[in-house]
């Protein structure tokens, strides 16, 4: 499956980068631009190369590149207004045995979120759990959100005993005890002997460090809420300084998708209505395709962001790049007027030495051009060694004002060549990037 043609990136797109002097190229990292779309040119089964955190339901139906925090309407509004999630001890937790604060997420795919409401329908505080936020899994990992580890009774007891030994040991430092606390906070009992066999269905991830998890609006990928309340919630973000973030946020009525998919699966199990099954299957495939392309829209946004960073980096380095290009132009001028061999003998290294003023170099190259004519009359030659010494010892500075004035025409020629070279190369570097 290929992306629409408007998203295809050709080799020509990157040609302007080749015009940048070599020492600046290593600063620009393009490793993130490898296509995640598998090739269809081979008869072999194409290897999926999508990073694990970015896998979509279109590639593996039980996976999602997002982490969702489900909550109530009032909590959602409070979270958006303050741009942070507060770590709390989960409802129903034994505060004496498990007194750990956290923020919880699920990696369930968007279409499966409404199962939480069905599973928790007997809890008054969660009976209307139609609200939530979806974040990029990659972003949340970098903010300290990690998968919950489920352990059976024996392993969980072993970890609790280990904590007791750490707490009771005189050799244990406060840092060791704190690390042990963080470890246990990330663990959940499997509850393999409970009536409903625990909570692994939640596919839970947790943030257990600090008092709150702060985020920017640009970190949000989904907002779950009923359609009638989308405008009011959208306004919270639009009234902020991150108004452009709303362009990248999708609103999700998660219960609607859940009902469609579960209805389809139930009909498939209990009825023989092949035509209806095929229609529902096609709808499911379409939803998967939408999810697939949504993930690639995200990639395009990342490309745009990185490209803007490249343009900003190049613009910030404009003076350094210009200096480097100017020095290359001076070397070309010397080779043209004194021969290729003249840039050897230390001339190249002294001109490329950024600590030597460019004006001093130009003045002495102009001085050497004048000396070339004089020495030719005497049967002598201006070589690379003479040019190097002239720059090092600043021969041009020993001239009278009249002699210096005579060098102005040559200096103008050199500077004109430098400007022409820089303008040409700068256009090749920056214009194609800004057009994209």
The more confident residue out of 311 and 80 is 80
Q: How many CA atoms lie within 13 A of 219 on its CB side?
A: 18
Please compute the mean of the pLDDT values over residues 214-241 and round it to a whole number.
91
Long-range contacts of 102-105 (CB under 8 A, 24+ apart): 102/185, 102/206, 102/207, 102/208, 103/69, 103/145, 103/206, 103/207, 103/213, 104/69, 104/202, 104/204, 104/205, 104/206, 105/67, 105/68, 105/69, 105/135, 105/140, 105/145, 105/204, 105/205, 105/206, 105/207
Q: What is the pLDDT of residue 31?
A: 40
Q: Residues 6 or more apart from 292 whose CB is under 8 A from it?
A: 1, 56, 57, 58, 59
Q: What are the pLDDT digits (tens) for 336-360?
A: 888 888 877 688 888 888 788 888 8
Q: What are the pLDDT digits (tens) for 28-76?
A: 444 444 444 444 444 677 888 888 888 888 788 888 999 999 998 999 9
Quick check: 15 pLDDT over 60?
no
Sequence spans of domains, the chain:
52-148+199-270
151: helix, coil or strand?
strand
Q: Give, for 207, the enclosing helix (H) or strand (E).
A: strand 204-207
User: Other CB atoms closer than 10 Å to residue 322's CB: what's the count?
Assistant: 19
Cα–Cα distance, 24 to 225 (Å, whole number): 47
Q: What is the pLDDT of residue 376?
A: 64
What is the pLDDT confidence band of residue 13, given thresholds at 50, 70 and 90? very low
Q: What is the pLDDT of residue 121?
A: 58
Q: What is the pLDDT of residue 236?
A: 92
């Amino acid at each position: 499956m290929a992306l629409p043609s408007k998203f295809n990136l050709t080799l020509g797109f990157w040609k302007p980068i080749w015009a940048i002097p070599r020492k600046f190229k290593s600063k620009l990292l393009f490793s993130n631009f490898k296509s995640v779309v598998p090739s269809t040119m081979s008869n072999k089964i194409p290897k999926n190369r999508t990073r694990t955190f970015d896998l979509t339901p279109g590639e593996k139906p039980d996976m999602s590149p997002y982490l969702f925090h489900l909550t109530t309407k009032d909590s959602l509004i409070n979270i958006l207004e303050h741009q942070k999630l507060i770590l709390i001890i989960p409802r129903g937790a034994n505060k004496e045995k498990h007194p750990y604060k956290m923020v919880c997420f699920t990696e369930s795919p968007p279409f499966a979120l409404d199962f939480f409401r069905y599973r928790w329908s007997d809890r008054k505080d969660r009976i209307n759990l139609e609200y939530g936020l979806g974040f990029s899994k990659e972003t949340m990992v970098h903010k300290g959100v990690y998968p919950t580890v489920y352990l059976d009774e024996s392993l969980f007891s072993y970890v609790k005993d280990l904590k007791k030994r750490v707490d009771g040991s005189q050799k244990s430092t406060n840092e060791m005890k704190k690390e042990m606390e963080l470890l246990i906070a990330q663990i959940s009992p499997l509850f393999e002997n409970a009536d409903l066999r625990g909570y692994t269905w939640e596919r839970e991830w947790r943030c257990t460090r600090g008092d709150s998890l702060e985020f920017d609006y640009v970190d949000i990928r989904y907002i779950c809420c009923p359609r009638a309340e989308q405008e009011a919630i959208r306004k919270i973000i639009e009234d902020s300084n991150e108004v452009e973030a709303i362009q990248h946020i999708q609103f999700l009525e998660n219960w609607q998708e859940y009902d469609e998919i579960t209805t389809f699966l139930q009909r498939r199990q209990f009825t023989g209505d092949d035509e209806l099954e095929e229609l529902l299957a096609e709808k499911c495939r379409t939803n998967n395709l939408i999810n697939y392309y949504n993930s690639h829209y995200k990639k395009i946004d990342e490309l745009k962001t990185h490209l803007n960073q490249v343009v900003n980096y190049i613009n910030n380095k404009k003076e350094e790049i210009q200096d480097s290009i100017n020095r290359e132009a001076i070397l070309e001028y010397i080779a043209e007027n004194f021969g290729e061999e003249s840039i050897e003998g230390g001339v190249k290294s002294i001109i490329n030495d950024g600590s030597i003023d460019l004006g001093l170099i130009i003045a002495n190259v102009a001085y050497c051009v004048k000396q070339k004519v004089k020495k030719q009359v005497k049967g002598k030659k201006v070589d690379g060694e003479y040019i190097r010494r002239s720059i090092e010892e600043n021969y041009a500075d020993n001239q009278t004002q009249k002699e210096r004035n005579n060098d102005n025409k040559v200096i103008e020629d050199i500077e004109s060549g430098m400007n022409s070279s820089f303008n040409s190369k700068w256009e090749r570097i920056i214009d194609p990037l800004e057009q994209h």
